Amino acid sequence: MHSYNTLQQPVEDIILKEKGSRFIGFAWNVQSEAEIRERLETLKDEHPKATHHCYAYRLGINGEKYRANDDGEPSGSAGLPIYNQLLAHGVTNILVVVVRYYGGTKLGVSGLVKTYKECAKATLEAGIIIARELECELDVEFPFGLQNTVFTLLNRYGAKILDFRSANSCMITASLTLTHKKNISDQLSEMQHVSFKFRN
């Protein structure tokens, strides 16, 4: 399994109104829990008067890291319905947040579950879901004279050059899709005076 489904780009400001309360949906691609914390802090700064910032996320190719947070709503009435929409859409590496401004009328647990679910669903459906290939990073060290050969090989497999340094020898850091890892590894192994290692 070399790919996963995720959003092509962020989705913001999907608004749902229910009995005077306003629910605003957001969805972002995320790669780490640190990035999730930053997103949540930024959103809280942008909506300081909101009553709740409920969210759920999935990280990892099989969504092995996940969390659902009710942010003060009754247990299981907000975070879980949002998380279930991530599962229903089969997406990962995504954070969905639903910001609520309380309108004065209580919705009850079943009303909250329904509204948070509908807002998360509308938010994900407003985005474009794409299959993204998993990538890994590669460090290659080689003599200056082999520069063209190494660059040609990396280009053939669509590798992206992240860093290139040359002094006594050359050093490249590149990212490439996991599908091409074995082919590049086999061909680099056959080259003399070339050393390489994969980072992940």
- Tokens for 169? 């020898």
Which three-class secondary structure state does DSSP give residue 159? coil
The C-alpha angle with vertex 84 and arms to 27 and 13, in degrees rounded to 5, equals 25
Q: Is the pLDDT of residue 140 over 80?
A: yes
pLDDT mean across residues, the chain: 94
Q: Stretch 173-192: mean pLDDT, rounded?
A: 93
- Give the domain ranges of the chain: 3-132, 134-198
At the fourth CATH level, which superfamily is domain 3-132? Impact, N-terminal domain (3.30.230.30)
Q: Stretch 86-112: mean pLDDT, rounded?
A: 96
What local confidence, expressed as pLDDT, does residue 89 receive? 96
Cα–Cα distance measured from residue 23 to residue 146, given in angstroms and rounded to the nearest whole number: 58
Instruction: Indicate the pLDDT class of residue 1, thresholds 50, 70 and 90.
Output: low
Q: Which fold has domain 134-198?
A: Alpha-Beta Plaits (3.30.70)
Question: What is the reported pTM?
Answer: 0.77
Angle between helices 79-89 and 108-125 (to 10 degrees): 40
Give pLDDT tens digits for 149-162.
999 999 999 999 99
Interstrand relation of 3-7 and 65-69 (parallel, antiparallel or unpaired): unpaired
